[in-house]
Structure 1
Amino acid sequence: MFTANDFIPTPYTQSIESGQFQWSAPSNIALVKYWGKKDNQIPANPSVSFTLNNCKTITKLTFAKKHISTPPIGTENKFSFDLLFEGKPKEDFKPKIQKFFERIESYLPFLKDYHFTIDTQNTFPHSSGIASSASGMAALAMNLMSLEKTLNPAMTDDYFYKKASFLARLGSGSACRSIKGQVVAWGQQANIEGSSDLFGVEFPSAIHENFKNYQDTILLVDKGEKQVSSTVGHDLMHDHPFAERRFAQAHENLDKLIALFENGNLEEFIKIIESEALTLHSMMMTSMPYYILMKPNTLQIINTIWKFRNETQIPVCFTLDAGANVHVLYPENQKEKVLQFIKDELVDYCQNAQYICDEIGNGAMQL
C-alpha cells in the first residue's frame, strides 16, 4: 500500500541545467461522482471516470537553473515561474500554480532550483464549461515528472505514472484521473485492486466491447462563470444532512459498475450514470447554502433524451458535472443516429448552438 512518503524522492543521481518538455492531458467525465473531500485533496468517496480524447490541455514547460549568487532581497528561496495561456501572460492563473508548488515541494525538492515558463493552451473553447483544471494540472504534473525522471533515470514507469497522478491530485482532485487509462478509478474501493485515495488507477477488470470507443458529445448549455466553485461545493458536504448516505451510495454504485463494465449491460449502466448525475445536483440543492446549477435548457435536454430513448430503444444517456452543460454518452455503433438526434432536437438548447464531439481516450501523452 502506497503512502504519501513513498513519493518523497531519494537524492537525485543526475543534474540538468535547462531544457523543456511538452505534454497533453485530457479532461475526464466522472460516472460515479466525487463530491466532498478531506484535507490534502483526499476524496470523501471513490469515483470512476471515462478519460476523454479531444478535450485536452497542451502544456510546454521550459526550465533553466537559477544561478544568481545574491538574489534580490525577498526573492531568496522562492518559486520562480512565468505563466502563459495561449501565448499571452495570464497573471490570474498564477496564484493557483503558486499554491500547487507549495503543496508539492516536499515531493519535488528541485522546484526552487529552476525558473519555469509554463506555456499552456486548451483544445476546447475557453470558458466552454469543460473542466480545464483537471486537464491543466495533469499536463503540468506530467511535465514536472519528466524533469524528475531526468534527475533520476532509474525511476520505473509504474512509479512515474503513480506519482504524476498523486501530484496532479494536489492541484485539482479530479486531475488524478486524467493521467493514464481509459476508465480510471480514484479512491479506496475494496473490490478494485490497487485503488487508493492518493492517486487514480486504471480500471483493473475487463471492459466489455460495448464500451470500446464510447462517445461523449458535450452540449454547451451555459458557458458562463461557474455559479459556485468546486472547492466551495466540496466543502458544503462537511455538514450536509445526507452526506454519509451519499458516500455509501457511491461505493455501492461503483461495485455495480465493476460488474456492468464486464458484462456490458447498457440498460443497467444507464440507470447508475443518470442517477449519479442527478444525485450530485440534488446534493447541491439540499446543502446550506443551496444552489441550483442546472438551467431550464438542461432539463429540456434531459427530458428530450429520455423521450428519444423510450421511443427508439437506443442506449443513449446523459451525465452532468457541477454545472449546466450536458454530456451525452452512447456506444460508437449508435454514433450516426445519436448525432442526427442531437442536430435535430438538442442543438437549439445549446448556447450559440455549440457542442463538442468527444470519445474515450487513453490519458496523457508526451509531444
Structure 2
Amino acid sequence: MFSANDFISATYSNTIEKGSFTWSAPSNIALVKYWGKKDKQIPANPSVSFTLNNCKTITKLTFVKRQNDTSKCAVQADFSFDLFFEGKPKEDFKPKIQKFLERVHLYLPFLAAYHFTIDTQNTFPHSSGIASSASGMAALAMNFMSLEKALNPEMTDDYFYQKASFLARLGSGSACRSIKGSVVVWGTHANIKGSSDLFGVEFPNVIHENFKNYQDTILLVDKGEKQVSSTIGHDLMHNHPFAERRFAQAHENLDQLSTILENGNLDEFIKIVESEALTLHAMMMTSMPYFILMKPNTLEIINAIWKFRNATKIPICFTLDAGANVHVLYPENVCEKVLQFIKDELVGYCQNGQYICDEIGIGSQLIINN
C-alpha cells in the first residue's frame, strides 16, 4: 500500500510535447455514508459505495508544452488552462480547477509545464441534482495520470490507479471512489484489507451473486441548487453533538455490510442502507446551524417504497445522498416489476417526471489516447 510520500514524483524518463487523452469516470452512491472530514480531504469515517455505470463524466484533456516552463517553481506554480463544459467556456468552474491544480502540484510537478484544454461533459442532465464533482474530478485525475504515465512508462498499474484515486480525493472526497471497482471502500477500517484514508480501494472480498448487476434508478425530486453545500455540511460535523457516535456507527455498519455483501442477505442489506441514508440526513437536521435537504416528495417516495415492499416482499430499498433525490436500489431479477412500480406510483413525485435508470459499473475507462 502506498503512502502520500510515494506519490511525490521525482524525475521522468520520457518527454512529450503535446497530445490528448479522453477518460470517462462514473458517479457513485455511498451505502455507508461519509459525512465529516479532516484536513486535506481526509474522511472522519470510512464509507463504501456502489460505482454507477451510466451517470458519468467524459473529459478530454489536450496538452501542449509551454515555452515558459514554470514547473520547477515549487512555491508558486503558474498554471495555464482553458475549461469547456459541453463545448462552451465555463468560467465559473475555473476556480475549482485552479484550486485542484494547486493541491496536486506537489504530486504532479509537470502541471505548470503545459497548457491544458479541459473539455468535459456529463451523460446525465445538467443541473439534475446529481452531484457531478465525484465523476468530474475522477475523470480529470485519470487524464493527468495518463500524462504522467506517458512521462514515466515504467509506472505500474497499481501505482497508476491508487495515485489517481489519491489525486481525485484532493478535488472531491467521494471522487476517489469513482476510479476503479464496482464496490469501493474509502477510509481506514480495521477489517477491510488495504483500506486507506488516502484513496479508495476495491472491496477485497467475494461479492455475492445477489449484488451483481444491482440496479439504481435515480428519482429526480429536486434539480435545483442545494441550499447548503456538502462542503459546509461536512464542516458542521466538527462541533456536532452526535459526531463521535456517528463515526463509530459507520465503522460498525461497514463491518456488517461487508458480511452482507458476501452472504447476499438482502433483508439485512436493506436495513443498513436505509438506516445510513436517514442517519446522514439526521446529522444535517441536528447540526448547528441545522438544515433539511429532503423535500416533501422525498418523504412521499420513501413511504411509497416501504408500502410496496411490505405488500410485495420485493427487496427494493432507497438511499439518499446529500440532497432531495432518491436512489432506488434493487436486484436485477426484479427489474421489470420495480420499474413498473416506479412508472405507476413514483414518477409523479419527480420534477418534470424525470428519472435515470442506472446500475453497478466498474469505474473509469480510457476512451481515446492520442
Cross-structure match for 1:356? 356
- Secondary structure of the corresponding residue to residue 109 of structure 2: coil
Q: What is the one-letter code of the residue matched to 2:95?
A: P
Alignment of 1:212-231 (within 5 A): 212-231=212-231
Cross-structure match for 1:244? 244
Structure 2 distance, partners of 1:125, 1:31, is 23
Structure 2 distance, partners of 1:118, 1:2, is 28
Structure 2 distance, partners of 1:165, 1:262, is 25
- Secondary structure of the corresponding residue to residue 61 of structure 1: strand
Q: Deviations over 1:4-23 (max 9, x none)?
A: 11100121000000000000
1:343 to 1:14, Cα distance in 2 relative to 1, 3 A: same
- Secondary structure of the corresponding residue to residue 136 of structure 1: helix
Structure 2 distance, partners of 1:197, 1:364, is 20
Alignment of 1:1-367 (within 5 A): 1-68=1-68, 77-367=77-367
CA contact (8 A) 2:69 2:113 kept: no
Which segments of 5 or more consecutive residues in structure 1 lack a partner in the other structure? 71-75
Q: What is the one-letter code of the residue matched to 1:323?
A: G
Cross-structure match for 1:73? none
Alpha-carbon deviation of 1:349?
0.3
Structure 2 distance, partners of 1:346, 1:225, is 22
CA contact (8 A) 2:208 2:264 kept: yes
1:302 to 1:115, Cα distance in 2 relative to 1, 3 A: same
Q: What is the one-letter code of the residue matched to 2:361?
A: G
Q: List 4+ stretches of structure 1 deviating above 3 A.
A: none
Structure 1 distance, partners of 2:163, 2:363, is 15
Q: What is the one-letter code of the residue matched to 1:241?
A: P
Which segments of 5 or more consecutive residues in structure 2 lack a partner in the other structure? 71-75
Structure 2 distance, partners of 1:215, 1:258, is 19
Q: Deviations over 1:16-43 (max 9, x none)?
A: 0000000000000000000000000000
Structure 1 distance, partners of 2:276, 2:218, is 17
- Secondary structure of the corresponding residue to residue 238 of structure 1: coil
- Secondary structure of the corresponding residue to residue 45 of structure 1: coil
CA contact (8 A) 2:68 2:113 kept: no
RMSD value, Cα: 1.0
Identity, in percent, stands at: 83
Structure 2 distance, partners of 1:301, 1:96, is 34
CA contact (8 A) 2:22 2:61 kept: yes
Structure 1 distance, partners of 2:29, 2:129, is 12
1:13 to 1:217, Cα distance in 2 relative to 1, 3 A: same
- Secondary structure of the corresponding residue to residue 357 of structure 1: strand
Alpha-carbon deviation of 1:2?
2.6
Q: Deviations over 1:106-159 (max 9, x none)?
A: 000000000000000000000101110000000000000000000000000000
Structure 1 distance, partners of 2:181, 2:236, is 30
Structure 2 distance, partners of 1:226, 1:80, is 31
Structure 2 distance, partners of 1:195, 1:295, is 35
Alpha-carbon deviation of 1:69?
8.5
Alpha-carbon deviation of 1:77?
4.3
Q: What is the one-letter code of the residue matched to 1:120?
A: T
Structure 1 distance, partners of 2:130, 2:157, is 29
Q: What is the one-letter code of the residue matched to 1:208?
A: H
Structure 2 distance, partners of 1:69, 1:101, is 16
Q: What is the one-letter code of the residue matched to 1:55?
A: C
Cross-structure match for 2:73? none
- Secondary structure of the corresponding residue to residue 259 of structure 2: helix
Structure 2 distance, partners of 1:69, 1:49, is 40
Alpha-carbon deviation of 1:244?
0.1
1:302 to 1:199, Cα distance in 2 relative to 1, 3 A: same
TM-score by length of 2: 0.97
Alpha-carbon deviation of 1:68?
4.3
Q: What is the one-letter code of the residue matched to 1:296?
A: P
Alpha-carbon deviation of 1:227?
1.2
Alpha-carbon deviation of 1:85?
0.1
CA contact (8 A) 2:69 2:114 kept: no
Number of positions where the alignment pairs a residue of Structure 1 with one of Structure 2 = 362
Structure 1 distance, partners of 2:250, 2:339, is 31
Structure 2 distance, partners of 1:68, 1:265, is 59
